[in-house]
Structure 1
Amino acid sequence: MQTVGVTGGIGSGKSTVCHIFEQLEIPVFYADYESKNILQTDPQIREQIRRFFGSEIYDGVILNRKKLASIVFNDPDKLKLLNSIAHPAVLRKFRLWLKEQLNVPYLIMEAALIFESELDVILDKIIVITAPEVIRIKRIMHRDNILAADVTKRINQQWGEEQKTKLADFVISNDEIQLLIPQVLSIHTKILKDKQPSKRNYY
């Protein structure tokens, strides 16, 4: 059973694409969601975040996400530190989730930083979602209620689309012109035809 990564820059539409795969009964592990959840719920992770980012980063057990974002997206070293805390915990959850998935043709991991975090080494195939930067900025401004300049800072902390697409097995354009469903169905069919077993070791 193969595991496929879905990645792309912030605002590219990764979750939208993954929801289409879910309609095809393909299980999806949302790594970015799990990362946010772990920062909120895991006591050991919360302690590390307090230690490195200040006790005021939490209001009780509620993480001040805007404050954390303002720190890490203005300091690449702080962002790297945050990822080094969260990503191992997310990977542990992913491995547990994998063991629960039975009788499915393949699995998907959705994550923004698959290449940046070197998660591609545990995945059989990678799908990269692309979208024009102006559209991505508009989407994130609307979703997170932040300024365009703040979105641009986040974009600049990630690999560029050209760098990602060079390493992709498949590319989906989410430019609000090309239809998503036909692109997803085409990739789904190709993955189903690939009968090779996974060569990755998740454990």
Structure 2
Amino acid sequence: MVKIIGLTGGIGSGKTTIINYIQSKGFPVYIADDAGKEVMEYPDIIKKINALFNGEVLLPNGFLNRTKIASIVFKDKELLYQLNKIVHPAVALHFKDFVEKNASSDIIFKESAILFESEAYKKCDATILITAPLNIRIHRVMLRDQVTEDDVLKRVKNQMTDSEKQKLATFIVENIKLNETFKNIDQIISKILIN
């Protein structure tokens, strides 16, 4: 029976580097954000979302203007809730297909920035939280996205804190020195495979 391992971490924690490492070990990794973007290109989903936003979020090519949608829902929690009610069930079906396609694997990793916020962790056999000190995370994001410290802090404030996430996580990996991080990930994978 395949085990679903949720993987999450705040902005700048280094999730992408760890995902790449896990994939290099041959494990399938489902990236919820990428899946969400893919699902938002399905014609029936485009139609529902465009109707939700009164026909004002389509690009000339017929696809959704995700930047415009993001700026609207950032200020409107009710609209965000309605949007998630359209997107999340479609992503859940998409994930079910991914699990079926990778059923021969012992472990499937499911990466989601909002694993705990969305309560998706409840459907996982275990979870891994990637953490790093806030100053390191801020520095990483400033370098990566060419943004100010203030921009990063705004994004951090929109996420659940690491201490809240730690109460829900099965495993916690502090990602400061990569060789240590990879060692910890290997140990966790070994534990999961044994149990």
TM over 0.5: yes
Partner of 1:48: 48
1:187 CA displacement: 0.9
1:142 CA displacement: 4.5
1:143 CA displacement: 4.2
- Measure, in 2, the Cα distance between the counterparts of 1:102 and 1:193: 18
Partner of 1:199: none
| Structure 1: stretches of 5+ with no match in the other structure | 195-203
- Partner of 1:159, secondary structure, is coil
The alignment of Structure 1 onto Structure 2 pairs a total of residues equal to: 193
Moved over 6 A (4+): none
| Structure 2: stretches of 5+ with no match in the other structure | none
- Measure, in 1, the Cα distance between the counterparts of 2:149 and 2:57: 24
1:149 CA displacement: 3.8
Partner of 1:154: 155
**How high is the TM-score relative to the length of structure 2?**
0.86
- Partner of 2:167, secondary structure, is helix
1:27 CA displacement: 0.9
- Measure, in 1, the Cα distance between the counterparts of 2:117 and 2:127: 13
Q: CA RMSD in A?
A: 2.2
Q: Sort the Cα spacing of 1:176 and 1:153 in 2 relative to 1 into closer, same or farther, 3 A.
A: same
**How high is the TM-score relative to the length of structure 1?**
0.83
Q: Sort the Cα spacing of 1:68 and 1:160 in 2 relative to 1 into closer, same or farther, 3 A.
A: same
Q: Sort the Cα spacing of 1:79 and 1:8 in 2 relative to 1 into closer, same or farther, 3 A.
A: farther
8 Å Cα contact 1:15-1:110 kept in structure 2: no
8 Å Cα contact 2:5-2:108 kept in structure 1: yes
Alignment of 1:1-203 (within 5 A): 1-39=2-40, 41-60=41-60, 61-176=62-177, 179-194=180-195
Aligned-pair identity (%)? 38
